[in-house]
Amino acid sequence: MAYNVAVMLVDRIIIVGLGLMGGSLARALRNEVFTIIGVDSDLETRQTAIASGVVAAVADDLAAVIIRPTDLVILATPVRTILAQIAALPTVAPRGCMVLDLGSTKTEICAAMDGLPESFQAIGGHPMCGREVGGFANSSADLFRGQNFLLVETGRTTPTVRRVVVQLIQAAGAQPVLIDAARHDAVVAAVSHVPYLAAALLMQQAAETAVTTPEIWNIAASGFRDTSRLAGSNPTMMRDIVLTNRDVIAEQLLVYRGHLDALLAMLDDADRLAAWMQQQQEAHAAYRSLKANNADFTTNL
């Protein structure tokens, strides 16, 4: 890709957390012009990342890295860890730097970024992609390709950091989309956080059934596999997501409970049940059609 002056202001990219997201971003950018430094607390992850050539150097803690004002620090850890790392940035990077996070909730993170000293340039991020399995071993250079990468501006967002991050996102194959923090958290609660909890409850119910009916696992096929997939997500990551978006998720769960009550009432009304199912099939078809035309999504950038 052709880099402009803004992007060339970045000397190094420091990715904190080399799991699925951080590792995939490191892989996606490894052939670009930047020096990539990885930070991860897990020794095996550090050894694998350096041996594979995905990163030029590794450290076990961000405080062990000398951070320059021209560095871009990418925080790719669980949300509450990101919050702690933002709070520590003025100490570990006293001269400031550019900052991007990959957290799945944005209100608390962006508020924390607002409190950074003026020497920092910070923008919130959330790539809308993932897998139910995590870790560096499952990371892929293609994870972001063709996916939306949501960006949330903060009080520390400058035109420079926005241009730098947008071009990095595009280099990884994703499409940057600007959104505000509150709207982000409301939308992802509906299409990501509540679906995870629903899948987890489905898994709980099946596991409870298996106590008296163990053959359930042999009988279960692709329908159960697909609808329960999100239950395999990293529990630490998901706990932090739920705790930092709990109010919006609680509202969505109350709505979901209302829909469950309505569904129970339909079970004795064949015509009403059929009409409801037809409506949801049509809604699903409309969703799939809209996703197929994702290139028309307004980026606001």
Which of 121, 117, 70, 118 lies closest to 90 in space, CA to CA? 117
d(CA 252, CA 71): 39
| Both structure tokens of 209 | 């059934």
- pLDDT reading at 117 higher than 90: yes
Would you say residue 8 has pLDDT above 90?
no
Eight-class DSSP state of 251: H
Cβ atoms of 29 and 171 closer than 8 Å: yes
pLDDT in tens, 39-60: 999 999 999 999 999 999 999 9
Name beta bridge partners: 36.
13
117 closest CA partner among 88, 140, 81, 80: 88
Which of 20-24, 32-36, 57-61, 105-109 is least confident? Answer: 32-36
- The whole-chain average pLDDT of the chain stands at 93
Percent above pLDDT 70 for the chain: 95
Q: Rounded distance, CA 145 to CA 171, Å? A: 9
For 226-242, give the DSSP string: HHHGGGGS-HHHHHHHH
249-298 confidence digits (pLDDT tens): 999 999 999 999 999 999 999 999 999 999 999 999 999 998 777 655 55
Burial annotation 205-216 (CB, 10 A radius, 16+ → b, else e)? ebeeeeeeeeee
Q: CA-CA distance, 220 to 50, in Å (whole number)?
A: 41
**pLDDT, tens digit, 9 for 90 and up, residues 61-93:** 999 999 999 999 999 999 999 999 999 999 999
pTM for this one?
0.90
Strand order in the sheet with 148-153: 57-59, 35-39, 12-16, 72-75, 98-101, 121-127, 148-153, 175-178
Rounded to 10 degrees, the C-alpha dihedral 203/209/215/216 comes to: -40
Angle in degrees, CA 210, 214, 215, rounded to 5: 120
In the structure, what pLDDT confidence band is assigned to residue 133 with cuts at 50, 70 and 90? Answer: confident
- 41 phi, psi to nearest 5 deg: -75, -15
pLDDT (tens digit per residue) in 152-189: 999 999 999 999 999 999 999 999 999 999 999 999 99
- 33: alpha, beta or left? (left if phi > 0; alpha if psi -120 to 50): alpha
CA distance 198 to 16: 30
Amino acid in the structure at residue 127: P
User: Who's near 175: CB < 8 A, 6+ residues apart?
Assistant: 146, 147, 148, 149, 169, 294, 297, 299
Q: What is the spatial distance between Cα 261 and Cα 269, in angstroms, rounded to a whole number?
A: 14
Does the pLDDT of residue 140 top 80, yes or no? yes
Q: Is the pLDDT of residue 4 over 60?
A: no
Please give the domain boundaries of the chain with CATH numbers for all domains: 9-179 (3.40.50.720), 184-266 (1.10.3660.10)
Question: Please, which pLDDT band fits residue 15 given cuts at 50, 70 and 90?
Answer: very high
